[in-house]
Amino acid sequence: MNPTTALPVPVSASPASKTHVEKSFSPLVRQFLDYLKLEKHFSDYTVKSYGADLIQFGQFLCGEIGHGAGQAHAADAPPLSGNLDQRQLGCEPLTIREFLNYLYGQNYTKSTTARKLATLRSFYKFLIRRGMLSVNPLSTIRTPKQEKRLPKCLDLEQVQKLLDAPGDADLLSARDKAMLEVLYSSGIRVSELVDLEMGDLDLQEGVLRVRGKGRKDRLTPIGSQAIKALQRYFELRSVDTKSQGTAAHRVFLNKHGQALSTRSVRRKLDKYLQSAGLDPGISPHTLRHSFATHLLNNGADLRSVQELLGHQSLSTTQIYTHLTTQRIKEVYDAAHPRANVDPIGHPAAVPAKPFYPAKVG
């Protein structure tokens, strides 16, 4: 047996006994996660999130959480039987609804609940494709309606304050400035930033090769300020002995000469937000939102922004149009020939003329 795959402990035949589930992956879940990583090329973080959702669902199926966890079953309740794989394969829509009810009782947000449902949908579609099931227990389950939340966005003055905060007097400051400039100039995700390799840069043409979600590469332009910041960073890095090690092929390195992590990027951003006096709730992703919004505000078309962001669906990009309504209204008022014509009164506001029926004969 693979040492990383732990089978769940079988349930005792006694209805009053407590069900126990190892906090590790059952064989079916392990197959699914391997499929996501090796065939779908999902990131390690995404695979980890799917695994955590399925562990929680497995605990629910085996009675460790929800519906009287740790208590004896009622006399009319059927005893839990079979190992976790068997329970997953025998899952019915009612069980899914009970799981959703448990999540609701635990005050999970609608977005988190929707994500967990998406995990289960993917898992059961996988089982059906592999011929292990014929009916999807989630086929009649609806995803909770999501609240529409607009992403945070910085204005140009705030962006300038943030980008000026690191300076470039030493290696680490120059690295941080280059890092922030690239994030805002290209709109790439922070995970894509830390994965950049030296061979992905063409500073002569001003283009990055980005490895997006699902290992789908795309080319993204960067501006002159980001190029200048990168050149300054590389100039200082070339004389740093720690930067010449095994991770030298990576663009952004930590002070030990190893690849920079997404968590480190967040810590550096927090530092510069504080020094610039900006909202501490801003995240690296806010620079991506700002990138998209500023492009649309300055006349870029939605399809081009979709390509630059690496979105598969245009509907994902459309959220940024809500942030540019004022700009669209200004363009309309300036360009449409009848935008500023005096408004026509509503018919109800005009006194009605008396009606005289036509004479007959």
Q: Determine which one of 87, 232, 288, 289 is catalytic.
A: 288
φ/ψ (deg, to 5) at 31: -60, -40
**Closest to 191 measured CA to CA, from 296, 133, 264:** 264
Q: Determine which one of 50, 184, 233, 320 is catalytic.
A: 320
φ/ψ (deg, to 5) at 277: 70, 35
Q: Determine which one of 40, 73, 125, 213 is catalytic.
A: 213
Q: Is 233 a catalytic residue?
A: no
Q: Determine which one of 177, 189, 211, 294 is catalytic.
A: 189
Q: Determine which one of 311, 329, 346, 359 is catalytic.
A: 311
Q: Is 311 a catalytic residue?
A: yes
Q: Is 329 a catalytic residue?
A: no
Q: Determine which one of 40, 73, 121, 285 is catalytic.
A: 285
Q: Is 320 a catalytic residue?
A: yes
Torsion, Cα 143 138 46 128, to 10 degrees, reads -150
Q: Is 189 a catalytic residue?
A: yes
**Closest to 175 measured CA to CA, from 160, 154, 196:** 196
Question: Helix %, strand %, coil % for the chain, to 5?
Answer: 50, 5, 45
Do 143 and 117 contact (CB within 8 A), yes or no?
A: yes
In the chain, the N- to C-terminal Cα span, in Å, equals 103
Q: Which residues of 308-336 are buried (b: 16+ CB within 10 A; e: fewer)?
A: bbbbeeeeebebbeebbeeeeeeeeeeee
Distance CA 197, CA 245 (A): 14
Q: Is 104 a catalytic residue?
A: no
Active-site positions read: 189, 213, 285, 288, 311, 320
